[in-house]
Chain A
Amino acid sequence: MLTLIQIELYKIFRRPRTYIAFGAIAALILIIQFGLKLDGKSYSDFLMKDIGGSMVIDGNIINGYLLCYIMLQLLLVHVPLLVALIAADMISGEANMGTLRLLLSKPYSRTELLLAKFLAATVYTIMLLIWLAILALFLSMWIFGLGDLFLMKSSYVVLINQHDVFWRYAGAFVFAALAMVTVAALGFFLSIFAENSIGPIVATMSFIVFFTILSTLNIPIFNVLKPYLFTTHLISWKEFFDLKVNDANEAIIGSIQNPQRIITSALVLLLHIVGFVGGAIFIFNKKDVLS
C-alpha cells in the first residue's frame, strides 16, 4: 500500500498542473501583503470605522496575525477549487489519459488503489495548507511583526493577546486541513463518475457554492438542513478565535468560546470524508471499466 501511495504522490508532483495551486496561493498572498504593507493605514481605518464611534484603538492592528486571519478568510473560499483541481482528477484523469485500465489490471485491489489515491490527494491538500501557513502566517509575521489579534465579528470584537494567538492558528490550520480534505473527498467521489476532469472539478465547486448558499441563507426551511451540510462546518476554524468571558466580562486567556462546536464540526467533516470515500470505493468496485 505504501508503494501505491508513493507512486500516486510521484504522479501528482511530477505533473505541472499541481504547481498551479501553489503558485496561485503565493501570488494571492504576496499581493495582499504588498498592498497592506503599502497602505495598511487606510485598511485599518476602514476596519475601525464601525467601532470608532466609541473607542480608539492604540497599537499595531495590521500585524502578522491579523494578516493571516484576513488571508485565511479570503483564501479558504478559493482553496477548495485548487484542491478540486487534483482530487477531482484522481480517477477521471486516469480514465481520460487511458491509464486507468492499466492500473486496474495490476495486482492491487480496487479498494487499495482508491485508498492510495485518496491518501495521496490528502497529502497534497495538507502540503497546500502548509504552504498557505508558511506564507500567510510566518511570512506575514516576518513582514508585519507580531501583535495582539484584533478581530471584528458581526456583533462584537475580540482582542486576543499576542502570546495567546499562535496555538490558535495551529488549531485553525489543522481544522482547515480537515475541511479541505473533505472537499478533496467530495471531488474524489465525483471523479469516479466521469472520464474527463473538467466535469468533476466543476461539479465539486458547484456543490460547494450551492451548499454554501444554503448554509448562509436564513430561511427556516433550510435551517433544518444546515447542521448536516458540510459547508456549514468548513468555517468552524474561526471558533479558535473567539474567547470566553468571565462574569466581569474579562476575556479568559487561553479559552475558546465554543470548543464543542469545533469538535462537532470536525466530526461532521470526518463523517463526510468517510461517506464520500466509502461511497467512491463501493461504487467503483462494482463499475465496469470501459475507458
Chain B
Amino acid sequence: MYKIFLLIVGFQISIFVQAQDMTALVMKVKAKLDQVNDYEADGNMKTDVSFIKAPVGKVKIYFKKPNKFRLKKEGGISLLPKGGVSVNMSSVIATNDFVALAAGESIVNGTTCKIVKLLPINEASEIVLTTLYIDEPNLLVRKAITTTKENGTYEMEMNYGVYAKYGLPEKVIFSFNTKDYKLPKGITLEFDDNEKALSDAQKLKNKKGRVEITYANYIINKGIADAIFVK
C-alpha cells in the first residue's frame, strides 16, 4: 500500500519536475532572446500564396523590446499574413503568463528538439496554444506552431546562422492558411478567359500560404526610435 503511495507521489513529483524543467527551459530561451533590446536587419521576403503573384522583395525589419515589430519595404508594399504580423520569436514568448508542458521530442531540419506546449494562462489571450520545438543545447527555437482564436494556425520555422548566439534567425519560414480570393470579372473588367484560369489553377492550387524571410546584416542594440513602428 505504502509502496503504491510512494509510486504515485514519485510520479506526480516527476511530472512536476518535468513541468518545471519545461518552464525553466523556456525561460532560458527567453533570457537568451532578452539579450537583444532592439535590432534592425535587412531581409529578402518571398511570398508564396496561392492567389498572390509577388516578386522577392527587399525589406527592412525592426524590433524593439518587448514586442514592437515592423517589417517595411522601402517605398513599397509588403503582404503579410494576418495575425502573424510579428513574424518574430520574441513576441511569441513575450508573456510570462503561460504553462509550459513537455510533449516529447522531434527532429527539425536534422536537429533533435524538445517539444514544449505553451498554454497562456490568460483566457482572453488571442493565442490559444503555442507549440515550440526547442533545440535545448543551443537554446534556440527551431519551430513554433501557434494557434490563435481569430486567425487560425500558423507555423514558423527558423534557421540560424552567425547570429544564433543572440537567438536571431537567418531565415524564417512562415506558413499559414489562406482564405479564398475571388473578385467578379465585372469589377476587374476582365473578359472571360478559360485558358488563363487553367494555367494559373495548375500553379495556384494550395490553400496554404508561405512567407519566407531571409535576414542579414543585423544591427543589434544600437537603439531604435519608437517612431519607426508607427504606421
Q: Which residues of B contact A159 (CB under 8 A)?
A: 47, 52-55, 57, 77, 79
Which positions 44-60 of chain A face chain B at CB distance < 8 Å?
Answer: 50-60
Partner of A58, one of B51, B54, B73, B209: B73
Of all chain B residues, the one with the shortest Cβ separation from A149 is: B77
Q: Contact at B191–A216, with CB atoms within 8 Å?
A: yes
Q: Contact at B188–A154, with CB atoms within 8 Å?
A: yes
Complex: A152 Cα to B47 Cα, angstroms: 16
Partner of B48, one of A53, A162, A238, A250: A250
Complex: A154 Cα to B54 Cα, angstroms: 16
Q: Contact at B182–A226, with CB atoms within 8 Å?
A: no
Q: Contact at A162–B188, with CB atoms within 8 Å?
A: no
Q: 1/0 contact trace for A243-262 toward B, CB 8 Å?
A: 10100111111000010000
Q: Contact at A156–B181, with CB atoms within 8 Å?
A: yes
Q: Any chain B CB within 8 A of the CB of A164?
A: yes
Given contact pairs A153-B183, A159-B52, enumerate 11 new A-B contacts (beta carbons under 8 Å).
Answer: A54-B49, A54-B82, A57-B77, A57-B78, A148-B76, A154-B185, A154-B188, A159-B55, A243-B53, A250-B46, A252-B55
Q: Any chain B CB within 8 A of the CB of A215?
A: yes
Partner of B55, one of A73, A153, A242, A251: A251
Q: Contact at B190–A154, with CB atoms within 8 Å?
A: yes
Q: Contact at B75–A147, with CB atoms within 8 Å?
A: yes
Q: 1/0 contact trace for B167-189 toward A, CB 8 Å?
A: 00000000011110111111111
Task: Tell me the B residues contacting A by CB distance below 8 Å.
Answer: 46-57, 71-73, 75-82, 85, 176-179, 181-192, 196-197, 200, 203-204, 209, 231
Partner of A157, one of B53, B56, B203: B53
Partner of A50, one of B47, B82, B183: B183
Q: Any chain B CB within 8 A of the CB of A3?
A: no
User: Nearest Cβ in chain A — how far from B190, in angstroms?
Assistant: 5
Complex: A232 Cα to B178 Cα, angstroms: 33
User: Nearest Cβ in chain A — how far from B149, in angstroms?
Assistant: 15
Q: Contact at A161–B79, with CB atoms within 8 Å?
A: no
Q: Which residues of B contact A243 (CB under 8 A)?
A: 53, 55
Q: Contact at A161–B76, with CB atoms within 8 Å?
A: yes
Q: Any chain B CB within 8 A of the CB of A150?
A: yes
Given the known A-B contacts A58-B231, A161-B55, A258-B196, are A53 and B82 also in contact in the complex, defined by CB atoms under 8 Å?
A: yes
Q: Which residues of B contact A155 (CB under 8 A)?
A: 51, 181-183, 197, 200, 204
Complex: A252 Cα to B55 Cα, angstroms: 6
Of all chain B residues, the one with the shortest Cβ separation from A235 is: B189
22 residue pairs from A and B, CB less than 8 Å apart: A50-B182, A54-B178, A55-B49, A56-B82, A58-B77, A59-B77, A147-B75, A154-B183, A154-B185, A155-B200, A158-B53, A159-B47, A160-B55, A164-B55, A218-B192, A232-B191, A238-B190, A243-B55, A248-B48, A250-B46, A250-B56, A251-B54
Q: Contact at B78–A250, with CB atoms within 8 Å?
A: no
Task: Report the 5 A-B pairs with minimum CB-CB distance, sorted nearest first.
Answer: A59-B77, A53-B179, A159-B54, A148-B76, A148-B77
Of all chain B residues, the one with the shortest Cβ separation from A55 is: B79
Q: Which residues of A contact B53 (CB under 8 A)?
A: 156-159, 242-243, 245, 249, 251
Q: Contact at B82–A55, with CB atoms within 8 Å?
A: yes
Task: Tell me the A residues contacting B by CB distance below 8 Å.
Answer: 50-61, 73, 77, 146-148, 150, 152-162, 164, 215-216, 218, 223, 226, 232, 235, 238, 242-243, 245, 248-253, 258
Complex: A223 Cα to B193 Cα, angstroms: 10
Q: Contact at B82–A147, with CB atoms within 8 Å?
A: no
Question: For B48, B75, B177, B190, which residue has the most chain A Cβ atoms within 10 angstroms?
Answer: B75
Q: Contact at A56–B80, with CB atoms within 8 Å?
A: yes
Q: Contact at B182–A54, with CB atoms within 8 Å?
A: no
User: Nearest Cβ in chain B — how far from A201, in angstroms?
Assistant: 24
Q: Which residues of A contact B203 (CB under 8 A)?
A: 245, 249
Q: Contact at A156–B200, with CB atoms within 8 Å?
A: yes
Q: Contact at A156–B77, with CB atoms within 8 Å?
A: no
Complex: A238 Cα to B190 Cα, angstroms: 9
Of all chain A residues, the one with the shortest Cβ separation from B58 is: A161
Complex: A188 Cα to B85 Cα, angstroms: 57
Partner of A147, one of B51, B76, B80, B231: B76
Given the known A-B contacts A148-B73, A155-B181, A159-B77, are A54 and B188 also in contact in the complex, defined by CB atoms under 8 Å?
A: no
Complex: A57 Cα to B57 Cα, angstroms: 14
Partner of A57, one of B48, B79, B191: B79
Q: Contact at A58–B191, with CB atoms within 8 Å?
A: no
Q: Contact at B188–A152, with CB atoms within 8 Å?
A: yes
Of all chain A residues, the one with the shortest Cβ separation from B85 is: A56
Given the known A-B contacts A59-B73, A73-B189, A146-B75, are A157 and B181 also in contact in the complex, defined by CB atoms under 8 Å?
A: yes
Given the known A-B contacts A161-B57, A243-B53, are A54 and B77 also in contact in the complex, defined by CB atoms under 8 Å?
A: no
Q: Which residues of B contact A218 (CB under 8 A)?
A: 192
